[in-house]
Chain A
Amino acid sequence: MKYRSVTEIIGPIMVGPSSSHTAGAARIGRLARLLFDGQPKRVNIHLYGSFAKTYKGHGTDVALIGGLLDFDTFDERIRDAKEHASNANMRVRFHEEEAIPDHPNTVKLRLESDDNAMELVGISIGGGKIEIIELNGFALQLTGHHPALLIVHQDRYGVIANVANVLALHKVNIGHMKVSRKEKGREALMVIEVDQTVTDEIMTSLEKLEHVDQVAKLHE
């Protein structure tokens, strides 16, 4: 089941005009910022399908920028997000893509700062609900139903066991886990959905592990 909570049907509270093209877009932008761990300096946004055709009228552009500035779906500053972005020295460029995506509301964001870059593909599936389907070239499925951990690490033996061990020590149960890598021995990504809250203490322990490069947590 894609939708589980009544709040996904009655809600979100948001500024108009479109739950998928405005609220969903704001959520994708905000999630990208969260994963990037801060505000990017430059963002390239590629819009596909219905997003590419109708973003101006739906305020998809200002919503994505608003999300990147950490505005929630009901934050009325979304309307003037472009101004807020230039005040915050964040440069955003939009690209309308012709390619036909699997899902009509697809957006690819490339976030950059001086020493960091991240690429994320998100889809807005209706009523403000979103999914992140790709991160730095890794395919993933994050529904946002459970707290999730994203761990960028090096593809070495023992890393998975060490991560699982930290979670076990803190009595955190893993509901779903996916590990992918680009190439043997190179950058890899763990996506872990858990049942309990991930505390800062757990995050610190995970970050200290050998061959772990980056840890991010997502809560919905």
Chain B
Amino acid sequence: MIQQETEVTGRSREAVLTDMDEKLTIMEEAVRRGIEEDVKSVSGLTGGDGKKLEKYIENGNGLSGDTLLRAVSRAMATNEVNAAMGMICATPTAGSAGVVPGTLFSLKDKLNPTREAMQRYLLTSGAFGLVVANNASISGAAGGCQAEVGSAAGMAAAAAVELAGGTPKQSAEAMAMALKNMLGLVCDPVAGLVEVPCVKRNAAGASIAMVAADMALAGIESRIPCDEVIDAMYRIGESMSETLKETALGGLAATPTGKALESQIFDLSAERT
């Protein structure tokens, strides 16, 4: 990835790593804000859940294991900061920005990686993301949520394998297994906001990424190769109804509660202006 990047952009290896390092700093700060501060989105729909889960983990009664739950809480934290129009780094998009850093900053506690290993984690996830972006899509409006949180889960799973010392082949298997389980996921944001269900889909994306990474590290392989899963994701996105591709016309956006929230939010903002 570094070699390709220096060839394509003409930047030095040093510059590529420095760029990733700056992004790590932005991500870490977003996670910190989300789990320490009382973040609330403009609409009031989201905020505070990452912090809530972090507290729950500290109490020690979590069912799923702390590393998995921390990936989830930190993914939600990032997305809550995003929904509050805070500063984040898109990975690969803003709506799916929680999965890659959430997983990383949970694994950081467990594996104590060097800063350079963390930069490489981002580059690995970026390399897998590039393949998806060029062969399928990373846009919810074009391919549904599977293209956003699905891609992010695959990217995070692949990078987590590398961070834990797995092979490139295992990374590809992890991505395949994560993305497979996100296929068909629609993009149906309530009121068109990147909040409901985005924050909780980032939570699920992070947990799938962690589990897929563990499965790949255990030697489990995907029956359908990674490239074909990506291709399937593209074709599913093509056949998905427009109402389920970031138009806020179908799915959860069209539920009675979704509709009620929508009119509440827009009546409020109409009053304000």
Say whether B133 contacts A56, CB under 8 Å: no
Say whether A11 contacts B89, CB under 8 Å: yes
Say whether B26 contacts A18, CB under 8 Å: no
Query: Which of B107-157 touch A at CB < 8 Å?
Result: 122-123, 125-127, 129-130, 133-134, 137-142, 147, 155
**In the assembled complex, A40 has its CB within 8 A of some CB on chain B:** no
Say whether A53 contacts B248, CB under 8 Å: yes
Q: Cα distance A126–B123 when bound, in Å?
A: 19
Say whether B26 contacts A13, CB under 8 Å: yes
Q: Cα distance A219–B101 when bound, in Å?
A: 29
Query: Which of A182-199 touch B at CB < 8 Å?
Result: none
What residue in chain B is nearest A6 (Cβ atoms)? B126
Say whether A8 contacts B133, CB under 8 Å: yes
Greatest chain B CB density within 10 A among A50, A58, A74, A79 is at A50
Query: Which of A12-60 touch B at CB < 8 Å?
Result: 12-23, 49-50, 53-59
Say whether B85 contacts A79, CB under 8 Å: yes
Of A2, A14, A56, which contacts B88 at CB under 8 A? A14
Of B22, B88, B134, B155, which contacts A3 at CB under 8 A? B134
**In the assembled complex, A4 has its CB within 8 A of some CB on chain B:** yes
Contacts of B59 in A (CB 8 A): none
Contacts of B127 in A (CB 8 A): 6
Q: Cα distance A105–B246 when bound, in Å?
A: 10
Greatest chain B CB density within 10 A among A17, A49, A53, A126 is at A17
Contact code string B68-106 (vs A, CB < 8 Å = 1, else 0): 000000000000011111111111111101001000000
Q: How many residues of B contact A (CB 8 A)?
A: 61
Q: Cα distance A11–B123 when bound, in Å?
A: 11
Q: How many residues of A contact B (CB 8 A)?
A: 43
Contacts of A5 in B (CB 8 A): 5, 8-9
Query: Which of A54-95 touch B at CB < 8 Å?
Result: 54-59, 74, 76, 78-79
What residue in chain B is nearest A17 (Cβ atoms)? B194
Say whether A10 contacts B142, CB under 8 Å: no
Of A2, A15, A103, A104, which contacts B134 at CB under 8 A? A2
Of B22, B83, B133, B249, which contacts A9 at CB under 8 A? B133
Of A54, A125, A127, which contacts B248 at CB under 8 A? A54
Say whether B193 contacts A17, CB under 8 Å: yes
**In the assembled complex, A122 has its CB within 8 A of some CB on chain B:** no
Say whether A14 contacts B195, CB under 8 Å: no
Q: Cα distance A78–B86 when bound, in Å?
A: 11
What residue in chain A is nearest B247 (Cβ atoms)? A53
**In the assembled complex, A1 has its CB within 8 A of some CB on chain B:** yes
Q: Cα distance A105–B142 when bound, in Å?
A: 9
Q: Cα distance A59–B147 when bound, in Å?
A: 21
Say whether B130 contacts A6, CB under 8 Å: yes
Q: Cα distance A193–B94 when bound, in Å?
A: 29
Of A11, A13, A59, which contacts B87 at CB under 8 A? A13
Contacts of A116 in B (CB 8 A): none
Of A1, A20, A22, A53, which contacts B192 at CB under 8 A? A53
Q: Give the shortest distance, in Å, between B115 (CB) and chain A (any CB).
A: 15
Q: Cα distance A152–B271 when bound, in Å?
A: 45
Greatest chain A CB density within 10 A among B122, B123, B133 is at B133
Q: Give the shortest distance, in Å, between A154 (CB) and chain B (any CB).
A: 35
Contacts of B123 in A (CB 8 A): 6, 10
Q: Cα distance A1–B131 when bound, in Å?
A: 10
Q: Cα distance A14–B8 when bound, in Å?
A: 23
Contacts of A55 in B (CB 8 A): 192
Q: Cα distance A78–B85 when bound, in Å?
A: 9
Say whether B90 contacts A105, CB under 8 Å: no
Q: Cα distance A23–B91 when bound, in Å?
A: 13
Say whether B22 contacts A20, CB under 8 Å: no
Q: Give the shortest distance, in Å, between B33 (CB) and chain A (any CB).
A: 12
Task: Given A9-B91, A13-B23, A58-B194, decide whether A2 and B133 contact each other with a Cβ distance below 8 A.
Answer: yes
Say whether B89 contacts A10, CB under 8 Å: yes
Q: Please report B residues at the A interface, Cβ cutoff 8 Å.
A: 1, 5, 8-9, 16, 19-20, 22-23, 26, 41, 43, 81-95, 97, 100, 122-123, 125-127, 129-130, 133-134, 137-142, 147, 155, 189, 191-195, 242, 245-249, 265-266, 269
CB-based closest 7 A-B pairs: A54-B192, A126-B139, A16-B82, A9-B129, A6-B126, A17-B194, A57-B193
- 14 residue pairs of the A-B complex, CB under 8 angstroms, read A3-B130, A9-B126, A9-B129, A9-B155, A10-B122, A11-B91, A17-B41, A19-B97, A50-B246, A53-B247, A57-B194, A126-B141, A127-B133, A127-B138
